[in-house]
Structure 1
Amino acid sequence: MNKKSRRTLIALIAVCVLPVAASYFAFYVWKPDARMNYGTLVSPALLPEAPLMNLAGEPVAREQLTGKWTYLVVAPSACNEACQEALYLTRQIRTAQAKDMDRVHRIWLVTDSGMPDGKLLSAHEGMGVVVANDAWRERFAFDGLPRVWLVDPQGYVMMRYPDSLEPKRMIKDLGRLLKYSQQG
């Protein structure tokens, strides 16, 4: 076998073996520390079946909360600074999706029987506001702090965001979901 044939054979073997070896290395040895998503993925669970009430006292079925990607802000009616920031950021993140913003919905799940401030509600026009019942409060383990959850268009709760929200990372999360999902 001459040198040229030997080089060709070695190159052919390298082209076939190196990708397989690299994949084994990447899977078993090199484990990246970073996650792609900012929010914490949770075990998908359907929203509770128990009907909610809107602020006018009319029933709201779970099906009315599905069909779009939904930011669910779980907070009491006496919306403190953290709650107001969560409402503001979810509005800005939805707006940042530009042409896809119609695929995103925002809901404020009020965890008590109080009435939210009218000025705050008018500042967040287009946001749904519903009053939680026991089943909903239990599902979202309300502990007094405002929390932001992401619900998929089928009504599955799939992600929870940390207490200190980072809007740029939330925009990336939602943008990625909207890009790769045909739902909503």
Structure 2
Amino acid sequence: MGAAMNPPNTANVPNRKPGWRGRLQLILILLVVIGPMILATGMYKLQFWVPESRSYHGELIGNGQNRGDLGVQADEQRWQMLVTAPQECSVDCQQLVYLARQIQVGLGREASRASHALATAQPVSADYDAKLQREYPQLRRYPLDLPTYTKATQGNGAAQLWIIDPHGNLVLRYDAKVKGKDLLNDLNLLLKLSNIG
């Protein structure tokens, strides 16, 4: 009973302070958690260790531009292949319009998730207008505001095809040399990865 009343003798017990091992473990845990975020931020900001390979064929538009920035006012809630013609819709423009229609058909059961359209700064010729009405019944047509378009494309006067997401954001751009298979593969990949539109 006397032993229970007396406090234990602590004179011989060493005073334990956190040692270097504990600090090292804490630093390693912080590096594992925060390190990848710091590395990814540095890679993005400084553009180092960025892989050169890509899975798309067009020019990626990653600057936040939307359809309105091109000078096209449209309310489309689906993915859209938009052909723009700042000058007359000549051979390259007509080829891209044809390609956009063929790509939509090539989408098969996913075709309802996309549309094709033409935006021109000048009226198309009477012959081509009749052809569009006859052979392209689903083609949407819009006026193209030339000053806005010229500013957005830095004066590029060639016909171009743009893939635009259902929110109106520009995703990819193609010139008249694009191959139909490449364009179809890109759009199929976007539709597969997206749950919108």
TM-score (norm 2): 0.64
User: In structure 2, what is the Cα distance between the partners aligned to 1:72 and 1:141?
Assistant: 18
State the 1:84 CA deviation. 1.3
- TM superposition shift of 1:154: 0.3
Report the alpha carbon displacement of residue 88 of structure 1 after superposing the two structures with TM: 0.7
Q: Count residues in correspondence.
A: 144
Select the residue among 129, 143, 155 that pairs with 1:118.
Answer: 129
Q: Deviations over 1:29-62 (max 9, x none)?
A: x98643200111112312227986xxxxxxxx53
Percent identity of paired positions between Structure 1 and Structure 2: 24
Q: Which moved more, 1:130-139 or 1:151-160?
A: 130-139
Partner of 1:102: 112
Name the CA distance, whole Å, in 1 between partners of 2:103 and 2:191.
Answer: 12
Larger Rg: 2
Q: C-alpha distance in 1, partners of 2:150/2:115?
A: 20
For 1:147, the equivalent position in structure 2 comes to: 160
Q: Following the alignment from structure 1 to structure 2, what is the Cα–Cα distance between the partners of residues 89 and 128?
A: 14
Q: Which amino acid aligns with 1:171?
A: L
- What is the identity, as a one-letter code, of the residue corresponding to 1:176? L
Normalized per residue, the structure richer in strand is 1
- Give the Cα–Cα distance (whole angstroms) in 2 for the partners of residues 73 and 120 of structure 1: 16
Instruction: Write the distance in 2 (CA, Å) between the matches of 1:50 and 1:171.
Output: 23
| Preserved CA contact (<8 Å) 1:42 1:160 | yes
Contact 2:66–2:168 (Cα < 8 Å) also in 1: yes
Alignment of 1:1-184 (within 5 A): 33-43=52-62, 44-48=64-68, 61-62=73-74, 64=75, 66-76=76-86, 78-112=88-122, 114-116=123-125, 117-122=128-133, 123-133=135-145, 134-141=147-154, 143-184=156-197
Q: What is the CA RMSD across the aligned residues, in angstroms? A: 2.5
SS at match of 2:116: strand
Mark the runs of 5 or more structure 2 residues left unpaired by the alignment: 1-48
Distance 1:106 1:129 in 2: 9
Q: Is the 8 A contact 2:89 2:120 kept in 1?
A: no
Name the CA shift for 1:87/1:142 in 2 (closer, same or farther; >3 Å). Answer: farther
Q: Cα offset for 1:77?
A: 6.6
Unpaired runs of 5+ residues, structure 1, are 1-29, 53-60
Shift in CA distance, 80/181, structure 1 to aligned 2, threshold 3 Å? same
